[in-house]
Amino acid sequence: MSAHDNHSKEEIHSKVLRAGRRTYFFDVRATKADDYYLTITESKKHTNENGTAFYKKHKIYLYKEDFERFCDLLNEVTDYIIDEKGEEVISETHQPDFHAEEGNNHQEDKKPEPMAIETGNSFTDVNFEDI
């Protein structure tokens, strides 16, 4: 395998965002022409009936010519969600400490824990406003 072929299969730069049972990988990779593009991978942990874990993964490939429009639309729709529904998480399935009581399906108002981005061996708290 040539150095170029090896280079195109390796990640050039990578960041990890852990969010409960989901993990997001932001990986910079190289094309055959040695230009860079971004892959965003969502990995979600599931459990088999026998108790063993497995991961389902979904990927998005994003090329430089689409960065600006992608970011603009991402900001527009995330701003819309926050403007319409606020920052409080209201879905029980996304609150890791939710415990439904019999006959009572709501939880005290509680701010969700921030997500963490892993950079090397350390973590950094991240809010969506930072992205």
Say whether pTM exceeds 0.75.
Answer: no
**Amino acid sitting at position 17:** L
Greater confidence (89 vs 121) lies with 89
Sequence-distant (≥ 6) Cβ neighbours of residue 67 within 8 angstroms: 38
User: Per-residue pLDDT tens for 11-51?
Assistant: 799 999 999 889 999 999 999 999 999 999 999 988 999 99
**Domain ranges, residue 27:** 3-64+112-130
In a domain, 117, yes or no: yes
Looking at residue 126, which CATH number applies to its domain? Answer: 3.10.450.700
Q: Mean of the per-residue pLDDT values for the chain?
A: 77
Cα separation, 64 vs 34, in Å, equals 13
In a domain, 34, yes or no: yes
In a domain, 105, yes or no: no
Confidence of residue 107 (pLDDT cuts 50, 70, 90): very low
Counting the structural domains of the chain, the total is 1
Asked if 47 contacts 56 with a C-beta cutoff of 8 angstroms, the reply is no
Conformation bin of residue 86: beta by default, left when phi > 0, alpha when psi is -120 to 50: left
